[in-house]
Structure 1
Amino acid sequence: MIEITNRLNLKEEYKGKELWNQTLCYPFYIELDNTKIGCIGFNTNTHNPVNVVEILHLEIKRELRGQGFGRKVMRIICELADKHSIILDVMPEPLDKSSKHTRDQLRAWYADFSFVLCNPRGFTMERHPKKEHK
């Protein structure tokens, strides 16, 4: 079972570590059967309305990528956002130059979860909560 836990130790080596130290980010581990498989960071900064949460970072350990874990995590996040009427924001960007996904591929991935570009020239995508959720 995949869980999102707040037991993150920033000494762990994740690419988002520097970002977390510089923002109002809330980092969480992604765990599978009590084993850390990745991390996700959220931002609820003062510039956003109360019901908006920004996804700053989503990372699955390199050796576990391509197995659907990121997709499962995003489904959990979207279900929680729907349940609590939260708008999700994200700026899809590759983690670094070694990332196998381009910005366009990441945009398409987020679009699968009903994220839409805020404007054609912009980089930010957002997802509004669905009225009916399970």
Structure 2
Amino acid sequence: MRELEYITAIQKKYSGKRDNSKEILVASGIEHPFVVEDRGEDIGCIYLHFEPQMKPGMVWIMYLRSYLPGKGHGTGMMKMLCELADKMRVRLYLEPVPDRGSNWTQGELVAFYRRFGFEGSITMQRPPIA
């Protein structure tokens, strides 16, 4: 199942630390996004989710946050997610909803995700690009 392989491959890149500032309720309980590090520094967090009952080939980006906005870390995390999704032929989905305290509007998030090939506006998807 390449969706689970994709999520595992992303998580293996990092130490496995959990970000406890954002709890996401899922069917199996409460999940926490994992911390993304760059050269030993915590730069953000990502939570990826796959439901086997849902459409095959689909991974939800449930949450993505840069700890230091304006440094390019969010862009870097999205590039990494999209490059591996292309390589592994995985379709990505997300809902562009600003987090509490975010300076981003929903429209700005939609524009940001469109730069990476996402389509739509309420639920956005990105097919793998060859």
| TM more than 0.5 | yes
Q: Please tell me whether the aligned partners of residues 44 and 73 of structure 2 are also in contact (alpha carbons under 8 angstroms).
A: no
1:45 shift after superposition: 1.3
Please tell me the residue identity of whatever aligns with 1:33: R
Q: Normalising to structure 1: TM-score of the pair?
A: 0.78
Change (3 A) 1:130 1:124: same
Q: Which residue of 62, 65, 83 maps to 1:59? A: 65
Alignment of 1:83-122 (within 5 A): 83-96=87-100, 98-117=101-120
Aligned residue for 2:72?
Answer: 68
1:4 shift after superposition: 4.6
Cα separation, 1, equivalents of 2:119 and 2:86: 16
Give the gaps of 5 or more residues in structure 2: 1-11
Coordinate RMSD, CA, aligned: 2.0
Tell me the matched-pair count: 116
Give the gaps of 5 or more residues in structure 1: none
Aligned residue for 2:6?
Answer: none
1:123 shift after superposition: 1.1
1:13 shift after superposition: 4.1
Q: Please tell me whether the aligned partners of residues 56 and 90 of structure 1 are also in contact (alpha carbons under 8 angstroms).
A: yes
Q: Please tell me whether the aligned partners of residues 75 and 113 of structure 1 are also in contact (alpha carbons under 8 angstroms).
A: yes
Please tell me the residue identity of whatever aligns with 1:49: K
Cα separation, 2, equivalents of 1:6 and 1:55: 19
Identity across the alignment (%)? 31
Cα separation, 2, equivalents of 1:77 and 1:114: 12
1:87 shift after superposition: 0.3
Please tell me the residue identity of whatever aligns with 2:116: F
Moved over 3 A (4+): 24-27
Q: Normalising to structure 2: TM-score of the pair?
A: 0.80
1:38 aligns with 2:44: yes
Aligned residue for 2:129?
Answer: 130
Q: Please tell me whether the aligned partners of residues 29 and 39 of structure 1 are also in contact (alpha carbons under 8 angstroms).
A: yes
Please tell me the residue identity of whatever aligns with 2:33: P
Q: Please tell me whether the aligned partners of residues 116 and 126 of structure 1 are also in contact (alpha carbons under 8 angstroms).
A: yes
